[in-house]
Structure 1
Amino acid sequence: MDTADFEWVMWFSTFRDHILFALSGHVIFAKICSMLAPQHRSLVYMGYGILAVLVSMGWTFTTLILSHCVLLYSISLVKLRWLCFLAGLTILSTFKMEPFISWQV
């Protein structure tokens, strides 16, 4: 296993039980949405993404991710690139701070 690649280590150590769910769900939802309702594909992908994070990480981390998304979206409405960049870096740094690290377990 490549220990230098953080994402590889995370998926194959922490989320080993959820890999099949995540990959098969991605393929199945993509096919179903493409055939039945391509106009609602983004909503179904959003629902699947939230469900995948909820199953693999729990309520607290799902709430953290959703709050980060809402915050970044709200800041992007201001349309100042430097503010969006600064907010993005700040939000990324929160993933390595307490108490957020303890929520990722």
Structure 2
Amino acid sequence: MWGNQIGDEGATAFAEALRNHPSLTNLSLAFNGISTEGGRSLARALQQNASLRIFWLTKNELDDEVAESLAEMLKVNQTLKHLWLIQNQITAKGIAQLADALQKNTGIMEIW
């Protein structure tokens, strides 16, 4: 799904699918114009998803609110191994929240 400009509406639709999908392991929503609403929906869905291992959110419009939601997700989701957040709008505040969540998550292997 790389580079399709699905925006928040498409991200929210993917979030609904992720809540109940038992076998999807890799998903790229990079270059899709996803911002706060869509990013927060995805983070909430991943709190319930036990199959996704690799998730690319590179080059969207994700901000510190999304980073906070992703940090909350990382506190409960031990399945996700790779999270790519390259080229978003996350500041030091969002990075601090993600770093704090890593202290509670021993499953994640890399965040880019």
Q: Which has the higher contact order (CA 8 A, sep 6+)?
A: 2
| Greater helix proportion | 1
TM-score by length of 1: 0.23
Name the TM-score, length of structure 2 as normaliser.
0.22
Name whichever structure is richer in strand by fraction: 2
Q: Highest Rg: 1 or 2?
A: 1
